[in-house]
Structure 1
Amino acid sequence: MMSHGEQNYEIEKQSWYAPNLPETQEIDENQCQSLKQEIDVVIMTATDVELKAVAKLLKPYPRKKKVFLAYVGPETYYLGKFGEYKTVVTKCRMGSIGEGSVILATEQAQRLWSPRAMIMVGIAFGKDPNKQKIADVLVASQIISYEQQRVGEEIVYRGSIPPSNTTLLNRFENAQNWKFTRPDGSHCNLIVGSILSGEKLVDNPDFKAQLFQQFPQAVGGEMEGAGLCAASGRVGTAWILVKSICDWGDGKKHKKHQPMAAAAAASLVHHVLSQKTVLSSIKKSGGEPQANVLSQKLADGNRPISNNSHSGKLAGSQRKQFCEALMDAFPSQNALKMMLSYELDWELDRIAGGNNYEEIVFSLIEYAKAQGKLIELLEAAKRDNPGNPKLRNVSF
């Protein structure tokens, strides 16, 4: 047995090894359009290893002998059944920015296929080899984008921390009887938590330590998640990121375990999507950026919805007032954590983060806004501390 739980094995002898892509049958854009309404899932990958691992589990459509292959614009798509769902699999370039990046690839995939869900599948670096193992699978409860910084006497991270889709996260948290076995016979673990995302291929122990010091709630890191959630959030498509640990980003990076890690992540996604009704409560996206909420009309009166509705919009002054009220009513992080646990069964460390208490509270409000639960958060706070005057003055 090697250090950090690494193993010696012959990769060619492993049942999960995917050296090649499946045989395909090419289809044209007109055929793509005819299949659009049937597509439920788009799976994004960023490397050949990830693509092959996912494609190994992609089966042809019923009564078809080969997986469909489509060239549309600058992208290449593989169409088939992944578990119980008709799925498109594609590969972008590594990272969230630049030509061919995940942002551009995700936007085009959403416009073309209008899926119920966008799922990023692949490999990541782990946080702690003493608590995690190679090929353990990380499921993102939220994505921490660490690239946005204010650089002065000290570095202040200013990136957003968007949460994964609530329904998709629930489905993966409740994945029952999933099993992926390493060559030594041990089973991989499913770990749910915040995942770091940035443009850097992390392979430096000092830089890695700095990231986890700033974001102790994170369980690992990768390069595409920030772009995935940015593009999916713009259209309103449900998204989640599922990646498996292939190394530790500690200056000893190598590619040996990448195929096993990619296979483990693909295996978990395939297991979840093998449940026939797992996505039933998620509607197909429209494929275009969401219209401004002011242009939406109420069915009973053709009246514009208020821009300050608790369904998702929050004016800057309201956000500041709510943030200050929460900090006044719950002056410590532990006090806020207990309120959320008792009243809402929320885990603060999983849904919000930041460099200081104010940033954590701001992140919590952003989480509640994204989930359409601002009113729930406010009412919970008022129940726990009904005598606080600042909370009493907050309304949406």
Structure 2
Amino acid sequence: MNWEKYGLRIGVQEGSLLSSETVEVAVVALVGGQFEFPPNTVLVSAVYAVSLSKPLLKRLKLEIQHCVDLTGQPALSHHLKFAIAPVSTPSLPYQFAIVEGGEFSSNSGYGSIERKEFCLLCILARILGDDGGGGGGGQQQPQGQRAGIGYTDVKKNMKYAGLIYYEEEQVEDLVTFTAAKELEVLIQFVKRKCSQAKIGPDISFSFECPYNCIELKFNAHQDKPTTGWTVTPQTKPSRLYQEDIDKFGDKQHSRPSCCLISVYGSPDAVPFLNYSVPLVGVVKPVTLIIHRARRNPPPPSTTFRIPEQSDQSTQKADKGGLHHPATSTGKEETDSDYRETLGSTGAGPDSSKSDDEKPPDVSEFFPKLEDFESEEKITKKYSTHLTKEEQEFIEKVNVILVTATTIEYRAVMGATEPTGGDKKYIKVITKDRSTNFILAKYGLCNVAVIMTEQGPDNTQRVLTSVLDDVKAEFVIAIGICYGVKEDKTEELGDKTKLANIIVAKSIVNTEHQRSEEKRNVLPDTYHCGEKLLNLFKHDKVFNFKDKSVKVHVGVLASEFTLHRNEEEKQKILKQVPQALGGEMEANGINRVAVAKKDKFQWIVIKSIVDWGNEDKDKTWQPFGAVSCARFVLKCLKDQPDEGDPLKKQ
């Protein structure tokens, strides 16, 4: 059984079963999860779970792909070990232990082992200091370990894959270069996550020691003309570190490392761009070629100009194709502890079937990213380099506003004011440098605004990092969601309509319904913070832009994936009939609250912009996000006491 597409081969020995028997083999390939490995080791394969419908008479031979290049260095194979963990465990993370046995060929890129009892299985590489004192941090070698090959040799012989893909972002293109260990299952995973984008060829590389990072150089000589084109990296220097790439798949690193590049071609640019970007820090020279074609200029009646107000019909809902790791099931599919965004309120196709009524224009409340993210509008600082006044402001911040998509982020930022005396926002890079937050005034409240990207894992990761810097007592998730019960009438009944706002009094976690749909499993329910609920539950109607928006107080379902069709939605929600809508971030917020021992209260407030079915579109997203952000702001301003209603006591 050859599943090299997912880095696995299975050999069945003759005489393993009777001629009249049939045995089913189930395989799950995990690109990440809550795993804990022995000290001084690094994961160099995917994690596989292989199970049989009934035992065989002989052992199975499992061959697993790894990313250590053993060519010409067979002695390196002594540092590769198989490791196992039980599938059933009373608590996470899964604890892996090294097992003896197994063979590693120097020319195949696979390791093989025979197994009869099945569990989680992977390949680890020992990373130890050599006897010459180089590269191992002074770690002692255990007795019996072969000397002379250590940390540096294993790391410098690990192979990596780089992929480049393209997405259209309004008038410019967003180019992403991402890297991961060179494993087929990871490459397939990344390609599936950016399946809506145009994917370029992938490259193979190894890090050149002792640098252990690669850098994209944008000042190289260009062989082809570039007149009229602008290529701008979004981070300087544009570097990817080996340590960060290796962490992809950890419970705190649910997306691969990447560099983002903006590419713009003016109407009079040369028709095609072939822009060379050499990689520095690799063993063998590699050059990326960014290939773009000039977009056809618009017709004279709509000639492009920089508008005073944004055109809602052309706004890109979410940049995040890559960032939500995927799942699939079946005998020849990969799986992950992280779930894929199958469809979402942030990125649905524009079919415009959901309602005859058109939403009011909210351009004046819905700034473009460049309206507040440019150097003229924002100052970027590391949390360790803040002024005394900035540190004092952070100490006063008691509210974190959570957004997931660009639509939500723009809507919330449009309701805020900058904090600095120079009328500029302050973007703070967190202590661990994994994310950032914006310091702002939201009415009378001092707030930190974050954009997590969709899904509970991303929300958990970003919020955990920010809470290490901001000791807030309240977390409010603001944005858009899908609705469950559509009301086609004009009456304000129990059912919902597009743009209705849901104030969640509780969240139902539907994960178990998806993973154990054949069993009757009661869903987990989390209650939102009482003080926050008391602030937002009293308004039944919110009037905004000459539209009366009904406000519901009720239950929201929190998913790992959103839905493409009505049948799929109802299949999950049939055990949660009280739910008014569904979203993807609340589970992540609750995980952080549990980990922090409920040191903060939280609530989710979102606006319905589609029905999570075949008719979903983008029409109501800007109005829904903006009206939701303005509703929360109004409730905070309406409190009878003067000053910040959520200030620290």
Give the TM interval when normalised to the shorter protein: 0.5 to 0.7
Q: Which has the higher helix share?
A: 1
Report the residue type matching 2:382 in the other structure. Answer: D
Candidates 520, 527, 531, aligned match of 1:156 = 520
* Cα pair 1:5 1:133 within 8 Å, conserved: no
| Other-structure match for 1:223 | 584
| Other-structure match for 1:328 | none
Candidates 456, 479, 488, aligned match of 1:122 = 479
Structure index of larger Rg: 2
Report the residue type matching 2:358 in the other structure. Answer: N
* Cα pair 2:399 2:646 within 8 Å, conserved: no
Candidates 415, 424, 435, aligned match of 1:57 = 415
TM-score (norm 1): 0.64
Candidates 439, 443, 446, aligned match of 1:79 = 439
Report the residue type matching 1:148 in the other structure. Answer: H
TM-score (norm 2): 0.40
| Other-structure match for 1:90 | 450
Distance (whole Å) between structure 2 residues aligned to residue 40 and residue 205 of structure 1:
40
Report the residue type matching 2:462 in the other structure. Answer: A
Report the residue type matching 2:500 in the other structure. Answer: D
Distance (whole Å) between structure 1 residues aligned to residue 594 and residue 416 of structure 2:
26
Report the residue type matching 2:442 in the other structure. Answer: F
Aligned residues between the structures:
276
Q: Secondary structure at the match of 1:162?
A: strand
Candidates 544, 548, 551, aligned match of 1:190 = 551
Matches within 5 A, 1:296-307: none
Matched, 1:137 2:490: no
Candidates 599, 606, 631, aligned match of 1:268 = 631
Candidates 4, 8, 17, aligned match of 2:366 = 17
Matches within 5 A, 1:207-222: 207-222=568-583
Q: Which has the higher strand share?
A: 2
Structure 1 range deviating more: 152-161 or 187-196:
152-161
Matched, 1:256 2:622: no
1:27 Cα deviation after fit: 3.2
Structure 1 range deviating more: 253-262 or 58-67:
58-67
1:213 Cα deviation after fit: 2.2
Q: Secondary structure at the match of 1:249?
A: coil
* Cα pair 2:359 2:619 within 8 Å, conserved: no
1:117 Cα deviation after fit: 0.6
Gapped runs of 5+ residues in structure 2? 1-351, 488-494
Distance (whole Å) between structure 2 residues aligned to residue 62 and residue 104 of structure 1:
28
* Cα pair 2:481 2:607 within 8 Å, conserved: yes
1:282 Cα deviation after fit: 7.5
* Cα pair 1:83 1:275 within 8 Å, conserved: no
| Other-structure match for 1:246 | 609
Matches within 5 A, 1:164-203: 164-175=528-539, 178-181=542-545, 185-203=546-564
1:283 Cα deviation after fit: 5.3
Change (3 A) 1:159 1:153: closer
Distance (whole Å) between structure 2 residues aligned to residue 172 and residue 8 of structure 1:
27
Deviations 1:154-199 (A, max 9, x none): 3323442010001101110124884223xxx431111111100111
Distance (whole Å) between structure 2 residues aligned to residue 105 and residue 153 of structure 1:
30
Moved over 6 A (4+): 150-153
Deviations 1:224-270 (A, max 9, x none): 11111221233221100011111001112222221111111111111
Change (3 A) 1:213 1:282: farther
Distance (whole Å) between structure 2 residues aligned to residue 279 and residue 154 of structure 1:
49
Matches within 5 A, 1:301-340: none
Report the residue type matching 2:622 in the other structure. Answer: P
Distance (whole Å) between structure 1 residues aligned to residue 413 and residue 646 of structure 2:
26
Structure 1 range deviating more: 208-217 or 130-139:
208-217
1:273 Cα deviation after fit: 2.4
1:64 Cα deviation after fit: 4.0
Change (3 A) 1:244 1:10: closer
Distance (whole Å) between structure 2 residues aligned to residue 160 and residue 279 of structure 1:
33
1:66 Cα deviation after fit: 1.5
1:6 Cα deviation after fit: 4.3
Q: Greater relative contact order: 1 or 2 (C-alpha under 8 angstroms, separation 6 or more)?
A: 1
